[in-house]
Structure 1
Amino acid sequence: MAEAWRYSAQGVAVAVRVTPRGGRDDIDGLETLADGRCVVKVRVRAIADGGEANRAVLELLAKSLGVPKRDVRLLSGATSRQKQIAIDGDPKKLGDALRSLTAAKSAG
């Protein structure tokens, strides 16, 4: 399966598909959309109202990848389930961390 993130000099840009009110805050692995794009599936307890779900997604990614919250920001998709999120840091380390986070879930 293709990777759902792109590398840059500053870090990575991750394509995510969010399920608000998903019962728990978790990363559910990778998914290939109907148009062939690969995304990281993320579920959060927060509701999609007033940016609560967006904040929860950014906090979950920061915590899961071990980066400060200030290094994770929304690039696009503020009102959509599909979002692009930038994560600043060492691109190789972030890519490896994303790969291990999503592989464990996709395989199981």
Structure 2
Amino acid sequence: MTDLSHLARPGAEIAVRVTPRASRNAVVVEAGAIRVYVTVVPEGGRATAAVVKLLARALGVAKSRLTLIRGETARDKLFRLD
């Protein structure tokens, strides 16, 4: 798992690109962009919940500190760290 703890500061906005139905759960940085791969299907918000869980673990913060600002049903999501 990629360590993103250097981004964990209050008020930071973190843009991610999500790939649902991947073969594994992972958070990677490719060409300066954060990509999150989750194995769950994008139905009923399950993929977004899995993204929050993985991103919080990579940042080293509680899931409750991440707020989804934009992209509830999109592959490109923007989170704010409270």
TM-score, normalised on structure 2? 0.80
Match of 1:29 in 2: 29
**Secondary structure class of the residue paired with 1:59:** helix
Q: What displacement does 1:66 show?
A: 1.2
**Secondary structure class of the residue paired with 2:35:** strand
1:68 aligns with 2:62: yes
| Alpha-carbon distance in structure 1 between the residues aligned to 2:81 and 2:71 | 15
| Alpha-carbon distance in structure 2 between the residues aligned to 1:10 and 1:66 | 13
CA root-mean-square deviation: 1.8
Flag the structure with larger Rg. Answer: 1
Structure 1 runs, 4 residues or longer, greater than 6 Å off: none
| Alpha-carbon distance in structure 1 between the residues aligned to 2:23 and 2:66 | 23
Match of 1:59 in 2: 53
Identity %: 39
1:11 aligns with 2:11: yes
Q: What displacement does 1:39 show?
A: 3.1
Q: What displacement does 1:17 show?
A: 0.5
Q: What displacement does 1:52 show?
A: 0.4
Match of 1:78 in 2: 72
Q: What displacement does 1:47 show?
A: 0.8
**Secondary structure class of the residue paired with 1:55:** helix
Q: What displacement does 1:28 show?
A: 2.1
Question: For structure 2, which runs of at least 5 residues remain unmatched after alignment?
Answer: 1-6
Going by fraction, where is helix more abundant, 1 or 2?
1
| Alpha-carbon distance in structure 2 between the residues aligned to 1:16 and 1:70 | 17
Question: For structure 1, which runs of at least 5 residues remain unmatched after alignment?
Answer: 1-6, 32-37, 89-108
